[in-house]
Amino acid sequence: MSKDGKRKHKNKADNKKAQTVDQNYSQDEKIRLNKFIAHAGFCSRREADEYISAGKVMINGQVTTELGTKVRRKDSVVVDGQNLSLEPFVYLLLHKSKDVITTTDDEKDRTTVMDQIEDATGYRVYPVGRLDRNTTGLLVLTNDGDLAHRLMHPSYSVRKTYLITTDRPLSEAQLEAYLNGIELEDGVAKGYNITQFMDDPNTFEMSVFEGRNRLIRRMVEFHGTVVTKLKRIEYAGLTLKDVPMGRWRFLRQNEINNLRKLVKLDTLDFNKKK
């Protein structure tokens, strides 16, 4: 399946029914501007305040820098040159292939995660966090800006589990060192629930609760070896069950609400009239 990343327009969902939640605002209801921006999937509310303060937000053609400004659904809101609208929330789980870039576009015209879900929903979604080009596995994409921000924020300690293959086996003492914490250039890094496979001593599973850049690869390099294969097999309680490499599916109602509970957001009502 190594060519999946290059098959544009051909990847289809395993579960074609989107679990969407309409943002039930009337055309004239007033909404705080940062909430509008976050609910349009552009960024979190806190980041929206930064865009507002920096003068990068226009309402009906006029720049506003006042925090706490309220807008209506029918207003024209432009952030950093992008027109925003309140679309239903959409949540996807992608089994990312190797050699696929975790970004919405790429100046070198390389295959991105957006190519793997192209035309999937009709809505604009964004990847939650990143997997580097050579890392495969589970990636969540959504236009729910508040949820995405909290899932990525270190204070919520979201569990991520990886299947790691190295160029030589790590000893029991070296794996034990991860449990106790090792000192990297940007601070102590710890691993949890480590399992080494007897039939493949070069491979082990390990969970972490943070998302620092290249964290797993740097933890392995600490012991003088390198990662030859890296796959994220679990994220915030979600797994890759029944999702082949290069394919995706919509998250189910209980999965969406479990994610929101995990990061202390209100659960969503899927029975609201759309």
Q: Which domains does the chain have, with CATH numbers?
A: 4-19+88-154+238-262 (3.30.70.580), 30-84 (3.10.290.10), 159-235 (3.30.70.1560)
- Residue 214 has a pLDDT of 94
- Residue 65 has a pLDDT of 95
Q: Does residue 109 have an active-site annotation? A: no
Which residue of the set 132, 167, 186, 200 is catalytic? 132
pLDDT tens-digit map of 185-199: 999 999 999 999 989
Instruction: Give the closest residue to 263 by CA, choosing from 192, 161, 158.
Output: 158
pLDDT tens-digit map of 206-221: 999 998 999 999 999 9
- Residue 10 has a pLDDT of 38
Q: What is the 3-state secondary structure (H, E, C) of the chain?
A: CCCHHHCCCCCCECCCCCCCECCCCCCCCEEEHHHHHHHCCCCCHHHHHHHHHCCCEEECCEECCCCCCEEECCCCEEECCEEECCCCECEEEEEECCCCECCCCCCCCCCEHHHHCCCCCCCCCEECCCCCCCEEEEEEEECCHHHHHHHHCHHHCCCEEEEEEECCCCCHHHHHHHHHCEEECCEEECCEEEEEECCEEEEEEEEECCCCCCHHHHHHHCCCCCEEEEEEEEECCEECCCCCCCCEEECCHHHHHHHHHHCCCCCCCCCCCC
Q: Answer whether 210's CB lies under 8 Å from 154's CB.
A: yes
How far apart, in whole angstroms, are the C-alpha atoms of residue 219 and residue 204? 13
- Residue 233 has a pLDDT of 98
How far apart, in whole angstroms, are the C-alpha atoms of residue 134 and residue 162? 13
What pTM was computed for the model? 0.79
How far apart, in whole angstroms, are the C-alpha atoms of residue 192 and residue 195? 9
Token pair in block for residue 139: 């990636």
Percent of the chain with pLDDT over 90: 64
- The residues of the chain scoring below 50 in pLDDT are 1-15, 273-274
Token pair in block for residue 154: 């270190």
Query: Between vectors from CA 154 to CA 214 and to CA 270, what angle results, nearest 5°?
Result: 110
